[in-house]
Amino acid sequence: MKIQAPYLLFLGDATDNLSIKMAKGVSDWRPQLCTGQFRLEGCSVTTDQPDMTIAQAKQAGAKTFVLGFANSGGTIDEKWIPYIVDALNNGFDIVSGLHDKLSDIPQIKQLAAKLNLQLIDIRHPQQKFNTGTGKLRSGKRLITVGTDCSVGKMYSSLSLEQAMKQRNFSVDFRATGQCGILIAGSGVAIDCVVADFIAGASESISPANDPEHWDVVEGQGSLSHPAFAGVSLGLLHGAQADAIVVCHAINRDSMRGISQRSLPSISDTIALNVASARVTNPQAQVVGITLNTSSVSEGEALDICHTITQELGLPCVDPMRHGVDSIIDKLCAEI
């Protein structure tokens, strides 16, 4: 699966910034992949891409129509079908990160087939995976892991990739979630893979490469999350990480979706992930910590990062506020 850029980001009539996370992610991190956004009456949120119609976007060179919004059920509302049909008739491939499949809608499936256009349901991987082998691959790999879900693993991964590129590393971001896949143009939604093949799919995401090449693998979930730890462990094993970056969101009361369960400490998260990663890469080590500090002031954020750096002897930064240079320094020094 390879998603053709550039994209037209369809926001529908979204009114909630969280619901357009996928569109915003690609607009923030890969503006060069976006031609514009297409919003309907009532839409009150924006990606900062220019507004345009489907026909205007076609004129401007866009190739893929992206359903850039989500709803709680992950359904494709019937009211979007005319816009999808219009996009197909204008020669666009269609991408969806919703749970409902585009290819389950007969009208859309038939039209796409007739026009020889792609329907890409990111959450329904079409590839056949093998089970994991555990065999060490050449090349180097970094993975982001979390104290919880939704703590900033994708943003941390992209920040690390960007900083490594600036230092002339040969490096690729490897996407494992729907937003990351749109940003990278390819990848595997690892939590949608059949359980038997998690580690095998993870191995395929960061294949053997030049000895000095780095893959930055987007982590998922958390080894401490009672719902998703299996995904996190299979992904970690398959990644065979040389380097691990631990991500954490400060001031979170409880684990995502699990009331009254407090987050594990950063040091426990380090210990658990290093022990697990060493099952497939005995050299695995943590090279830094990233925090989402958006809930506190600049000054407080710096204080917190400083305290953690002192306590754990590892660089600790908020990538959005401080960059990740200190982590790359550590990486260069240690691996």
> First-to-last CA distance in the chain?
32
Q: What is the nearest approach in angstroms of a second copy to the Cβ of residue 264?
A: 9
Residues 299 and 154: their CA atoms lie apart, in Å, by 25
Closest to 262 in 3D by CA, of 247, 252, 248: 252
The arrangement of strands across the sheet holding 34-39 comes to 34-39, 7-12, 64-67, 93-96, 119-121
Judge contact between 94 and 119, C-beta under 8 A: yes
Residues 132 and 73: their CA atoms lie apart, in Å, by 32
Q: Which is nearer to a second copy, 101 or 261 (CB)?
A: 261
171 alpha-carbon distance from chain centroid: 16
Judge contact between 147 and 253, C-beta under 8 A: no
Whole-angstrom CA distances from 114 to 117, 138, 317 are 8, 43, 51
Residues 113 and 222: their CA atoms lie apart, in Å, by 39
Q: Which is nearer to a second copy, 276 or 290 (CB)?
A: 276
Q: What is the nearest approach in angstroms of a second copy to the Cβ of residue 118?
A: 23
Q: If you compute the radius of gyration of the chain from its CA atoms, what whole number of angstroms results?
A: 20
Q: Which is nearer to a second copy, 27 or 232 (CB)?
A: 232
Q: Which is nearer to a second copy, 89 or 130 (CB)?
A: 130
Q: What is the nearest approach in angstroms of a second copy to the Cβ of residue 197?
A: 8
- Contact residues for a second copy (CB under 8 A)? 131-134, 190-196, 198-200, 223-224, 226-235, 237-238, 257-258, 261, 272, 275-276, 279-280
Q: Which is nearer to a second copy, 272 or 308 (CB)?
A: 272
Q: What is the nearest approach in angstroms of a second copy to the Cβ of residue 199?
A: 5
Q: What is the nearest approach in angstroms of a second copy to the Cβ of residue 335?
A: 21
Q: What is the nearest approach in angstroms of a second copy to the Cβ of residue 131?
A: 4
Q: Which is nearer to a second copy, 199 or 205 (CB)?
A: 199
